[in-house]
Amino acid sequence: MNNKKLKLTLVLSVFSLIFLTIFIIFKFNQSKEEKQIEVNDSQAKVLEIENTKITGISHTKTKTSVTTKIKNKSQNILSNIRINYIELDKNQNKISTKQIPVEVSLKKDEKALITILPQNYTYTIDIIGYSYETKNYDINVNLDENNITVGEISQTENTKEQLDDIIKYDILQIYDLQQLDDKNYKVKIKNNSQKNLGNIILKVAEKNREDEYVSISKISYNSTLKAKEFSKLILNSQDKENTLEIIGYTYDDIENKSNIDVDFKTNSASIIRN
């Protein structure tokens, strides 16, 4: 009799454990979904776009680029910004749907000039939406359908790991930026760590007189920079009226077989393990 009671107790315990596990998973997914819809329209639609429709583009085979401007209206830093647009011909038939990345993170009230090169016979560029990352969210704004999609960024789904301790990985000293002439600058770099760094790339942003980011260039140091060693790099500007801003850098941690991306704009670092 006692054995039957024991078996019954074990069976009930197993069923209770299964039910509890299912309940916890359900509540976790429910809370995650609730968390994903916390951002409302006014909070999500944070990009001010100067011109969402550019029309009257020459429909010949010879193309020149067209531009529009974006501005961050929110209090948060926006990173990994992507602009979605469609190309239409003179009869308003769709030629293509495309996405253009904005290679600089934007703080509050910062602006960027977006340059688009139309395809052959494109007459109209219609910006239909944009997406960006802020804090732990990946937000997509569909201007065409007037809706938003909010997802939580999962580190398990991302090849990059976000690093809280940026000081540990920000080991390249960048200093003594000097202008050589109208368009050329030189800058010194020093490896402040105890290990050798390879494939160093400086991310250099260029701003025009309106204080708008107009381009991002990547300047490579084509040698291994040994521990405590320093060197120089030459930087170039597109226009003598523009100013340069170093917004971050990447390097290979040879010892740990990983690539580190340091972003000065977001004050963060990420790592890709090889």
Q: Pick the more confident residue, 78 or 40.
A: 78
Full DSSP string of 135-171: TTEEEEEETTTTEEEEEEPPGGG-SSEEES-HHHH--
Asked whether residue 147 falls in the same domain as residue 172, the answer is no
Asked whether residue 145 falls in the same domain as residue 182, the answer is no
Confidence check: pLDDT of 225 > 50? yes
Structure tokens at 32: 């995650």
What is the phi/psi pair of residue 19, to 5°? -60, -40
Which of 105, 133, 153 marks a domain boundary?
153
Q: CA 135, 138, 142: angle at the middle one, nearest 5? A: 135
Count of structural domains within the chain: 2
Residues 274, 255: contact at Cβ < 8 Å?
A: no
For residue 24, the model assigns a pLDDT of 54
The Cα–Cα gap between 15 and 150 comes to: 36
Confidence check: pLDDT of 261 > 80? yes
Structure tokens at 43: 């909070």
Confidence check: pLDDT of 13 > 70? no
Q: Residue 267 belongs to what domain range?
A: 161-273
In a domain, 80, yes or no: yes
Confidence check: pLDDT of 5 > 70? no
For residue 152, the model assigns a pLDDT of 81
Dihedral angle sign, alpha carbons of residues 133, 134, 138, 139: negative
Asked whether residue 205 falls in the same domain as residue 245, the answer is yes
Asked whether residue 50 falls in the same domain as residue 93, the answer is yes
> Checking DSSP bridges between strand 79-88 and strand 94-102, what pairing results, if any?
antiparallel
In a domain, 103, yes or no: yes
Asked whether residue 97 falls in the same domain as residue 176, the answer is no
Which of 106, 131, 153 marks a domain boundary?
153
Give the single-character DSSP code of 116.
E
Q: Pick the more confident residue, 247 or 35.
A: 247
In a domain, 53, yes or no: yes
Asked whether residue 107 falls in the same domain as residue 90, the answer is yes
Asked whether residue 67 falls in the same domain as residue 118, the answer is yes
With a pLDDT cut of 70, the percent of the chain lying above it is 79
Asked whether residue 122 falls in the same domain as residue 181, the answer is no
For residue 81, the model assigns a pLDDT of 97
For residue 8, the model assigns a pLDDT of 53
The Cα–Cα gap between 201 and 179 comes to: 20
Asked whether residue 141 falls in the same domain as residue 240, the answer is no
Asked whether residue 110 falls in the same domain as residue 169, the answer is no
The Cα–Cα gap between 219 and 213 comes to: 17
In a domain, 2, yes or no: no
Residues 179, 168: contact at Cβ < 8 Å?
A: no
For residue 60, the model assigns a pLDDT of 56
Q: Which of 27-36, 158-167, 227-236 has the highest mean pLDDT?
A: 227-236
Among the residue ranges 38-52, 110-124, 198-212, the one predicted with the least confidence is: 38-52
Asked whether residue 123 falls in the same domain as residue 203, the answer is no
The Cα–Cα gap between 204 and 198 comes to: 18
Tens-digit pLDDT profile for residues 67-125: 999 999 999 999 999 999 999 999 999 999 999 999 999 999 999 999 999 988 899 99
Residues 259, 159: contact at Cβ < 8 Å?
A: no
Among the residue ranges 5-19, 174-188, 206-220, the one predicted with the least confidence is: 5-19
In a domain, 81, yes or no: yes
Confidence check: pLDDT of 11 > 70? no
Which of 153, 179, 205 marks a domain boundary?
153
For residue 157, the model assigns a pLDDT of 41
Asked whether residue 132 falls in the same domain as residue 51, the answer is yes
Q: Please compute Rg for the chain using Cα positions.
A: 25
Q: Pick the more confident residue, 110 or 43.
A: 110
Dihedral angle sign, alpha carbons of residues 102, 105, 108, 112: negative
> Checking DSSP bridges between strand 197-207 and strand 243-253, what pairing results, if any?
antiparallel
In a domain, 3, yes or no: no
CATH of the domain at 192: 2.60.40
Confidence check: pLDDT of 212 > 60? yes
